Amino acid sequence: MKFLEWLREPWPWYVAGPVIGLTVPLLLLLGNKSFGISSALRHVCAACLPAKIPFFTYDWKKEVWNLFFVGGVLFGGFLAAQYVASPNPVQIHPDLAADLQQYGITNYSNMIPVDVFSWNQLFTIRGLVMMIGGGFLVGFGTRYAGGCTSGHAIMGLSNLQWPSLVATICFMAGGFIMANLMLPYILKL
């Protein structure tokens, strides 16, 4: 079946990008919701451990749609991996492959490098810095910035909000600094 084969291939940007963009009007039309994912992390804090911190003392149940949405993202990831996964390893740029090889990253069977992100790497210094440290920065930074790639770069820019443009530029600047200047040292750990 041609269609199923096509589905299994990695989807090009000009298919995926517009569909991601359509999430914005979809959520607005479904129920007046502004697209944003990192808020879900805050709702989890508010639901599980508010600890009388004002930032977490609000009625998170009113925002529960956001938790349904991220639950869906998780399940969607499962469905895609289970039923329409690409049979081939991830294609990567030869320069990146050559560079990563020096750090012992040679396994491209997964979308995340299992040479770094795995249970037995968790208690190495590199694993700790990348999984725990990286995750912490994502959670702290997105909340400090008031949004992530979805809330600022996609939803905010769609609504032509200049503070979201500032945030997006800073996301990219941080990423460039880390990937090019800092990560080479972290990967050596």
Q: How far is the CB of 129 from another protein (least distance, A)?
A: 8
Q: Which is nearer to another protein, 125 or 178 (CB)?
A: 178
Handedness of CA 81, 122, 128, 188 (dihedral sign): negative
Q: How far is the CB of 52 from another protein (least distance, A)?
A: 11
Selection from 63, 56, 72, 62 nearest residue 23 by Cα: 72
CB contact set of 142 (below 8 Å; sequence gap of 6+): 38, 41, 148, 151
Q: Which is nearer to another protein, 3 or 119 (CB)?
A: 119
Element (H, E) at 25: helix 13-31
Q: Which two structure tokens, joined as six digits, stand for 47?
A: 């639901």
Q: Which is nearer to another protein, 112 or 125 (CB)?
A: 112
Q: Which is nearer to another protein, 102 or 140 (CB)?
A: 140
CB contact set of 158 (below 8 Å; sequence gap of 6+): 21, 24
Q: How far is the CB of 150 from another protein (least distance, A)?
A: 6
Q: Which is nearer to another protein, 81 or 125 (CB)?
A: 81
Q: How far is the CB of 51 from another protein (least distance, A)?
A: 8
How far is the CA of 85 from the CAs of 4, 7, 110, 180, in angstroms? 10, 8, 11, 30
Measure the CA–CA gap between 185 and 189, rounded to whole angstroms. 7
Q: How far is the CB of 33 from another protein (least distance, A)?
A: 6
